[in-house]
């Protein structure tokens, strides 16, 4: 349905990239001097992110669609309201606490959390439990590498993630439609799987608020609700975390939530999905097409029971 119009500016008229980047650096420096509280600042582009093989040949969803059709109840309960309410979520400064069964717990700024690792761009399919999907170029760091720095102990069998709980910045939390704050969890081998990504950006830019700024999880073989947004706490634990949608409707949203065309949602089939931007539905693949990478994690598990 998206009609692409040719750009009305000739490429030759655009400021050369080097100059533009220099100017941005200058603006940032100026911004740092002035230190305007609450100023949004210029969006940083993650130009340096390392391209990866993930997503080769996939048609990327338009950035407009990916940033205007969102499930983020904390910013509104329908698909279009998260974008409308995005301004409420101020993400600077942002601190993340890492705690629980690890030798080096701590609280650090989101920049410091990711600083030691080179940023990567990964194009992943995103399959929502509601039956639609997108293809999104994320920018982030493999979660496992970040977790290792905190030296999880042998008791760290699970990892729990928590979203910011602040009804001022996340006005959707003023209504108790879910048990706030949002909590998600992974088994440690899922969390440290090379596909699991801790994302700070998409489409080469910072994450917009409605997509989970400034830090979110991306677990591409699971339904979208596992990929928790706006994370403030990561906790290693010996017991399985209690997760938000699973608490709300355990018969509809399982803890594992692996994409599985054979296991229906009680209210709809999961055999097909509507790829946003396409008319005809397409077949949903086991583990969202990542079976060769992740199927071994679930060897011997009854995926119909542990859905």
Contacts with another protein in 92-131 (CB under 8 A)? Answer: 130
Contact between 65 and another protein (CB under 8 A)? yes
Map residues 179-218 to x or -, x wherever contact with another protein holds by CB under 8 A. Answer: ----------------------------------------
Distance, C-alpha 263 to centroid of its chain: 24
Residue of 24, 45, 60, 68 interacting with another protein (CB under 8 A): 68
Residue of 10, 53, 104, 267 interacting with another protein (CB under 8 A): 267
Residue of 102, 183, 276, 294 interacting with another protein (CB under 8 A): 276
d(C-alpha 197, C-alpha 194), whole Å: 8
Q: Which is nearer to another protein, 5 or 104 (CB)?
A: 5
Please tell me whether residue 15 adopts helix, strand or coil conformation. coil
Burial of 114 (0-12, 13-18, 19+ CB in 10 A): buried
Contact between 279 and another protein (CB under 8 A)? yes
d(C-alpha 55, C-alpha 134), whole Å: 12
- Number of residues near another protein (by CB under 8 A): 33
Owner of token pair 């750009």: 7
d(C-alpha 162, C-alpha 4), whole Å: 39
Contact between 80 and another protein (CB under 8 A)? yes
Contact between 6 and another protein (CB under 8 A)? no
Per DSSP, helices labelled H in 171-257 are 188-191, 244-248
Contact between 274 and another protein (CB under 8 A)? yes
Q: Tell the smallest beta-carbon distance from residue 267 to another protein (Å).
A: 5
Distance, C-alpha 41 to centroid of its chain: 22
d(C-alpha 147, C-alpha 158), whole Å: 12
The span of 66-74, 86-94, 156-164, 230-238 binding another protein (CB under 8 A) equals 66-74
Per DSSP, helices labelled H in 94-212 are 110-114, 143-148, 188-191
Distance, C-alpha 19 to centroid of its chain: 32
Contact between 2 and another protein (CB under 8 A)? yes
d(C-alpha 162, C-alpha 253), whole Å: 18
Please tell me whether residue 99 adopts helix, strand or coil conformation. strand
Write out the H or E segment, with its range, that includes residue 140: strand 132-142
The span of 31-39, 73-81, 201-209, 294-302 binding another protein (CB under 8 A) equals 73-81
Q: Tell the smallest beta-carbon distance from residue 180 to another protein (Å).
A: 12
Map residues 229-248 to x or -, x wherever contact with another protein holds by CB under 8 A. Answer: -------------------x
Contact between 280 and another protein (CB under 8 A)? yes
Residues 81 and 69 sit within 8 Å (Cβ to Cβ):
no
Contact between 266 and another protein (CB under 8 A)? yes
- Interface residues toward another protein, by CB under 8 A: 1-3, 61, 64-66, 68-69, 73, 77-80, 130, 132, 175, 177-178, 248, 264, 266-269, 271-272, 274, 276-277, 279-281
């Amino acid at each position: 349905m998206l009609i692409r119009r040719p750009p009305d500016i000739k490429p030759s008229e655009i400021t050369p990239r080097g100059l533009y980047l220099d100017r941005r650096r200058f603006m940032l420096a100026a911004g740092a001097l002035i230190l305007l509280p609450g100023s949004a600042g210029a969006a940083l582009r993650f130009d340096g992110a390392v391209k990866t093989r993930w997503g080769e040949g996939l048609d990327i969803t338009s950035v407009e669609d990916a940033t205007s059709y969102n499930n983020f109840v904390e910013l509104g309960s329908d698909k279009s309201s998260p974008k409308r309410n995005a301004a409420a979520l101020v993400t600077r400064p942002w601190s993340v606490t890492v705690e629980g069964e690890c030798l080096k717990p701590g609280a650090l700024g989101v920049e410091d959390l990711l600083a030691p690792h080179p940023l990567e761009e990964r194009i992943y399919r995103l399959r929502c439990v509601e039956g639609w999907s997108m293809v999104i170029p994320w920018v982030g760091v493999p979660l496992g590498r970040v977790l290792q720095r905190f030296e999880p102990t042998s008791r760290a069998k699970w990892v729990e993630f928590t979203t910011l709980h602040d009804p001022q910045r996340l006005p959707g939390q003023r209504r108790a439609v879910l048990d706030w704050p949002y909590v998600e969890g992974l088994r440690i081998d899922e969390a440290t799987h090379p596909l699991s990504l801790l994302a700070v950006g998409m489409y080469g830019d910072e994450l917009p608020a409605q997509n989970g700024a400034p830090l979110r999880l991306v677990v591409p073989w699971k339904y979208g609700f596992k990929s928790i947004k706006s994370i403030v706490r990561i906790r290693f634990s010996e017991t399985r975390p209690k997760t938000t949608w699973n608490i709300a409707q355990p018969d509809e949203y399982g803890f594992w939530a692996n994409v599985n065309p054979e296991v229906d949602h009680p209210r709809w089939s999961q055999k097909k999905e509507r790829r946003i931007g396409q008319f005809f539905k397409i077949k949903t693949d086991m583990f969202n097409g990542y079976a060769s990478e992740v199927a071994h994690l679930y060897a011997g598990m009854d995926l119909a029971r542990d859905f």
